[in-house]
């Protein structure tokens, strides 16, 4: 089912108006888990969707970026399309744009996710290192 949902992204309305907030609201898709998903199939579906989004951008006379990331806190795989270049994606965190799509997908598929009871939480010191979000991004158009 996950592969089907990814491919359906290419048929969703696409907003390219130069407003990153509006584009994020209209062009971001949240994908849940699928126990039967195979990493190679998910990667292929995203690559196919990126090509389709690029064709759509060309038809609109626009350029931009299609990108994918694993929202670890939400237990979700997310993708979005923006008119921004890949080095200006709308995140507040530092990004690692060198990560492979396969690594992101495998991280998502290997994440057990789920509920953590309040009593199971343990206080830990904040990490000293800056948070870096792995994002696979490809320029389109």
**pLDDT, average across residues 118-132:** 83
| Per-residue pLDDT tens digits for 9-35 | 999 999 999 999 999 999 999 998 888
Q: What is the pTM of this model?
A: 0.90
Q: How many CB atoms lie within 10 A of CB 46?
A: 26
Q: Is 21 exposed, middle or buried (0-12, 13-18, 19+ CB in 10 A)?
A: exposed
Domain ranges of the chain: 2-113+127-140
């Amino acid at each position: 089912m996950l592969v089907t949902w990814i491919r359906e992204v290419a048929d969703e309305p696409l907003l390219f108006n130069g407003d990153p907030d509006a584009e994020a609201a209209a062009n971001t898709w949240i994908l849940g888990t699928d126990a039967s998903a195979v990493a190679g199939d998910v990667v292929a579906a995203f690559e196919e969707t990126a090509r389709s989004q690029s064709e759509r951008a060309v038809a609109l006379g626009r350029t931009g970026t299609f990108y994918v990331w694993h929202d670890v806190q939400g237990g979700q795989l997310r993708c979005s399309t923006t008119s921004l270049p890949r080095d200006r994606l709308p995140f507040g965190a530092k990004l690692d744009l060198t990560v492979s799509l396969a690594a992101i997908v495998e991280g998502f598929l290997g994440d057990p996710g789920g509920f953590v009871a309040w009593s199971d939480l343990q206080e830990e010191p904040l990490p000293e290192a800056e948070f870096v979000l792995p994002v696979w991004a490809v320029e389109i158009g």
